[in-house]
């Protein structure tokens, strides 16, 4: 058996990641949805490595475009995201994660969801309270 | 009263759209979620005009990147999306639409949701049935 043949199973193990159509920057959008309530908590990006790490760890790992590096969600705040399920859309270019949100806070503002503003009569109204201040979360206070 | 002053109220009416951080291509990601079930049905993009039309019509209008033009969802299939609510995320660069999906089909494959594949044991498994064939939807049969 050649080394190439020996590696075939390992190669097959990553076939699923080949099905993902990363964009020109090597990124794919990822939507995180609360597994219990169905609420959409956040939206971020993943590169190939982030996707692999997310599946390997069972916790969401994104790629921070602003910092240009992997971002294990909750590594600083403790608000990690246990991944229950990952879905891929019809075009293979968007991921949907069903997650359990540690601490009940997904947003860096200290709110449950990043989508805390609703359009009402031509204005963005804040609908969610801050559950924990960013200072308390990140220790910058 | 100058013309500029006369236009002030109209300008104010669009302040909410100014709060949206469109990307370098003038686009913002939009997630469409079923208002009743909470299921995420699809993900697409909007430009400024699409956002304005969506709010004006009360139906989702996206920007098709492949066709390079506005795309009033359901204009061909009849599977329009009545918009119940629009939310904006913390960074102002992602929209979340709560919608009522006409026909119960959001995906061009004839499925309820575009996210019809789930990662199971290293493979993308199709979890949703085709409710209506694309030929029947688009009349290409």
Q: How far is CA B87 from the centre of its chain?
A: 12
Torsion of CA B27, B31, B35, B40, to 10 degrees: 160
pLDDT in tens, B14-41: 899 999 999 999 999 999 999 999 999 9
**Dmax over Cα atoms in chain B, in whole Å?**
69
Q: Reply yes or no on whether the pLDDT at A55 is more than 90.
A: yes
pLDDT in tens, B71-95: 999 999 999 999 999 999 999 999 9
C-alpha B51/C-alpha B1 separation (Å) is 31
A122 vs B contacts (CB less than 8 Å): 12-13, 15-16
Percent of chain B at pLDDT exceeding 70: 89
Predicted ipTM of the assembly: 0.90
C-alpha B15/C-alpha B23 separation (Å) is 18
- Closest of A1, A71, A2 to residue A30, by C-alpha: A71
Q: Which helix (H) or strand (E) holds B30?
A: strand B27-34
Taking CA–CA distances from B90, the nearest residue in chain A reads A114
DSSP string, B33-46: EETTT--EEEEEEE
B109 vs A contacts (CB less than 8 Å): 90
Assess contact for A110 and A132: CB atoms under 8 A.
yes
pTM of the model: 0.91
What is the nearest CA distance from A136 to chain B, expressed in angstroms?
A: 18
Name every residue whose Cβ is closer than 8 Å to that of residue A120 and which is 6 or more positions away in sequence.
none
Judge: B114–A31 Cβ closer than 8 Å, yes or no.
no
Mean pLDDT value across chain A = 92
């Amino acid at each position: 058996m050649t080394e190439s043949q020996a590696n075939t199973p390992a190669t097959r193990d990553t076939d699923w990641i080949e099905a993902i159509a990363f964009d020109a920057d090597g990124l794919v959008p990822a939507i995180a949805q609360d597994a219990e309530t169905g609420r959409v908590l956040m939206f971020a990006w993943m590169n190939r490595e982030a996707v692999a790490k997310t599946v390997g760890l069972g916790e969401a790992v994104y790629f921070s475009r602003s910092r240009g590096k992997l971002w294990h969600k909750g590594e600083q705040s403790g608000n990690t995201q246990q991944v229950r399920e990952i879905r891929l859309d019809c075009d293979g270019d968007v991921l949907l994660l069903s997650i359990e949100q540690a601490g009940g806070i997904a947003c860096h503002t200290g709110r449950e969801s990043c989508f805390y503003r609703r359009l009402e009569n031509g204005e963005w109204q804040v609908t969610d309270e801050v559950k924990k201040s960013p200072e308390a979360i990140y220790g910058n206070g």
